[in-house]
Amino acid sequence: MRQNLFFLLFISMLFLSANSHAVLEVEITGGFQGASPIAIVPFAWSQSGKAPVDIAGVVSSDLSRSGMFSPLSLNQLPERPAMGDTINFPRWKNTQAEQLVIGNIAAVGQGQYEVKFQILDIFSGQEILGYRFSVEKQNLRRVAHQISDKIYEKLTHTRGAFDTLIAYVVVNNDVNAKKRVYTLAIADSDGYGEKVILKSRQPIMSPAWSPTGKQLAYVSFEKKRSIIYVQELKTGQRKVVARFKGINSAPSWSPDGKRLAMTLSKDGNSEIYVMYTDSGVLQRITNHYGIDTEPSWSPDGRSLVFTSDRAGKPQIYQIAVNPQGRVGNPKRLTYEGDYNSKASFSHDGKFLTMITRDRGHFRVGMLELSTRYLQVLTRSKLDESPSFAPNSKIVLYATESRGRGILEAIASDGSNSPQRLRVLSGDVREPAWSPYRSR
Amino acid sequence: MKNILKHSVLKKLPVLLLAAPLLFLTACTSIGDSSSDDAAAVEDRTGGQNGEGYEGQTGAYDESGMGSGSAMGGDPLSDPNSPLSVRTIYFEYDSTIISSEGQSALNAHAEYLSLNSGKRLIIEGHTDEMGTREYNLSLGERRGRAVADFLSASGVPGEQMEVRSYGEENPVALEHNESAWQLNRRVELLY
């Protein structure tokens, strides 16, 4: 990487909402072993007063949430240089940090801002990476997440997943009005910028991102029974995709976005089907009197994993489903314990995360497919809906704490403690992590 | 014993049979609109409760409910002393087996439905919160089907019944403990 070479990056973003109203907040509930210290200096602001977004604060929070980094606190910073300032590296060498991140934010008129940053190696004094962004005010937080991604990728050699979204369902029990309100919402991966997708007095469940991130499939009971809808996030327009007799449940997009796996009971009991999204043609995948549900695609789009209790208790099975519509025989993947369900693949296809009953409690499990080793990642009691980050490094899941539904995230290799995301009111559940957004 | 409705006691005290579900519902209606539907259904099973939200399908239920209002001597559905007043069948964990108390209640409903071919029954299956949501949605349906199969074997035509499932999505008790889970593992019979 050449020194002092900035890559010019113009961001044109069709982002959804600029309302940076914090509905979810992130609590770090445990420390991380082996996290590397990094110094992130508050970005210099071109005008008086405070900058519209504390970019360095968002980046620090992202990086510490990843479990890979431990940013210095502000009072540990020996100086607060802006870009272009002379840096007193000997002083930084006493801080334990290996890298220094500095940056500037400047208003350039008409609601436009310029944000630039550098990562410097404290020992050599050399620049490791530098970028410049031209951005509208409402996208400043998003640029902060993109900066986190750049830093994470440069220093860990893994693509970052901070500039992503999460979908989830919030349930508010209004005691006085004697009603329950369900909200399907999306937010940035740190919980800021919540945007409501659907509100209903009846249950909403199973949000599933399309591979482009432009649509959400979900199940809504607004007609007093389960119906699968697909909604365009940009326009809010939606359509019914499955309203058959019986249950319509558990939508899951194929990696190419052309097929939607789902659970229907129209032919007797719960079976897996695949719907071709352009034609609506249905292909039946399973045929068993046991419950078959919770289908999820392999990354190559050639098989599904699903939950079945055909052997008595829920276990994970895999079945080949090729694009020509041929279906193989189901193969059982889990034998450990008496309850394994809701599996989904890591993006390299090597792992499955699932819910597993461990000593009577429902916990997040990680199955390595090559060895069939099942690692239990959590210590909680009522975990549900594990969802991989698009870089598969973190699993987001729902659990219960002190009587409330909350979301937690944990490193996929179990190397850190759960980190809690919580809403200020209501029960949060059914998290689904979006795919990467286009760069 | 874990059963919430202690049927042997309640049989001796028919007044309590009505009072117990009502008390329970007063305690819980605060939770949500679904339970206020239930409250309406318990207090007056004969009509009206299906009006909101059932859309096109509601006509049949409402009509039959209205019709029964004019019957001589009243509708046994609204008689608190009738075995028909048992509208909730409880289940053990991960089970679809209908208890003997449940079976005797269902026998009364089967007889009623056979004699009243204009009546339709929605059989709504529910589960506790343990395990995953979509699996529980299917488990709730399996419970509903177990009840429908029982009624069918007792001579109730399929056209008079519809099975629906809410899985774990509509709990009547919100606590996260075994006594709440017992209340939530249930099939509700809605006329």
Q: Does B54 touch chain A (CB under 8 A)?
A: yes
Question: Domain check: are A256 and A114 in the same one?
Answer: no
Nearest CA to B155 out of B123, B125, B111 is that of B111
Name the nearest CA neighbour of A218 among B184, B50, B32, B169: B169
Give mean pLDDT in consecutive 10-residue pieces for chain A, a chain of 439 residues. 38 33 46 78 92 95 85 95 94 94 94 96 95 95 96 95 96 79 93 92 97 97 96 96 97 97 95 95 94 97 97 96 83 95 97 96 96 95 96 94 90 84 79 89
User: Same structural domain for residues A46 and A192?
Assistant: no
CB B52 within 8 A of CB A223: no
Q: In the prediction, which pLDDT does A268 show?
A: 86
Closest residue by Cα to residue A419 from A14, A28, A120: A28
Nearest CB among B32, B137, B145 relative to A179 is that of B32
Domain boundary, last residue among A156, A177, A206: A156
Which residue among A156, A182, A198 closes a domain? A156
Q: A72 and A138, same structural domain?
A: yes
Report pLDDT for A64. 83
Report the CATH number that the domain containing residue A126 is assigned in CATH. Answer: 3.40.50.10070
C-alpha B42/C-alpha B63 separation (Å) is 18
Q: Would A116 be classed as within a structural domain?
A: yes
A373 and A235 in one domain? yes
Q: Please check whether residue A123 lies inside any domain of the structure.
A: yes
Report the alpha-carbon distance of residue B174 to residue A48 in Å, rounded. Answer: 51
Domains of chain B: 7-50+58-190 (3.30.1330.60)
What's residue A85's pLDDT? 93
Residues A218 and A260 in one domain: yes
For chain B positions 72-111, those within 8 Å of chain A (CB to CB) are 94
Q: Min CA distance, B54 vs chain A (Å)?
A: 6
By the CB < 8 Å criterion, does B30 face chain A? yes
Rounded to a whole number of angstroms, the distance from the CA of A274 to the nearest CA of chain B is 16
A interface with B, Cβ–Cβ below 8 Å: 173, 175-176, 178-180, 201-203, 205-206, 221-226, 246-247, 249-250, 263, 265, 269-270, 291, 293-294, 307, 309, 313-314, 339, 341-342, 355, 357, 362, 382, 384-385, 400, 403, 429-430
**Shared-domain flag, residues A121 and A16:** yes
Q: Both A364 and A263 in a single domain?
A: yes
How far is the first Cα of chain A from the last one, in angstroms, to the nearest whole number? 20
Q: Does residue A184 fall inside a structural domain?
A: yes
**Co-location of A130 and A239 in the same domain:** no
Among partner residues B130, B135, B145, which is closest to A294 by beta-carbon distance? B135
A283, two tokens: 């292909």
Residue A387 lies in a domain: yes
Decide if A439 is inside a domain: no
Last residue of a domain, one of A98, A126, A156: A156
Residues A85, A181: Cα–Cα separation, whole Å: 53
Per the structure, how many domains does chain A have? 2
DSSP state of A41: P
- Sort out which chain A residues have CB atoms less than 8 A from B138's CB and list them: 247, 249, 263, 265, 269-270, 291, 293
pLDDT of residue A422: 58
Residues of chain B positioned with their CB less than 8 A from the CB of A265: 138, 141
pLDDT value, residue A22:
36
Most B CBs within 10 A among A270, A355, A428, A430, hence the mutation to make, goes to A270
Compute the distance between CA of residue A138 and CA of residue A48 in angstroms, rounded to an integer.
Answer: 20
A211 and A102 housed in the same domain: no
- Selected residue of A172, A180, A223 to mutate for chain B interface (largest B Cβ count, 10 A): A180
**In one letter, which amino acid is B98?**
I
Residues A251 and A181 placed together within one structural domain of the fold? yes
In a domain, A351, yes or no: yes
Residues A196 and A112 in one domain: no
What's the confidence (pLDDT) of residue A155? 95
User: Within a domain: residue A259?
Assistant: yes
Nearest CA in chain A to B94: A313
Domain assignment of residue A2, yes or no: no
pLDDT value for A424: 62
A343 to chain B, minimum CA–CA distance in Å?
10
pLDDT, residue A439, reads: 59
Do A119 and A62 fall within a single domain?
yes
Write the CATH number for A387: 2.120.10.30
The whole domain housing A27 covers 7-156
Regions of chain B with pLDDT less than 70: 1-73
Q: What burial class does residue A133 get, using C-beta atoms within 10 Å of its C-beta: 0-12 exposed, 13-18 middle, 19+ buried?
A: buried
Quote the CA–CA distance of A340 and A333 in Å, as a whole number. Answer: 10
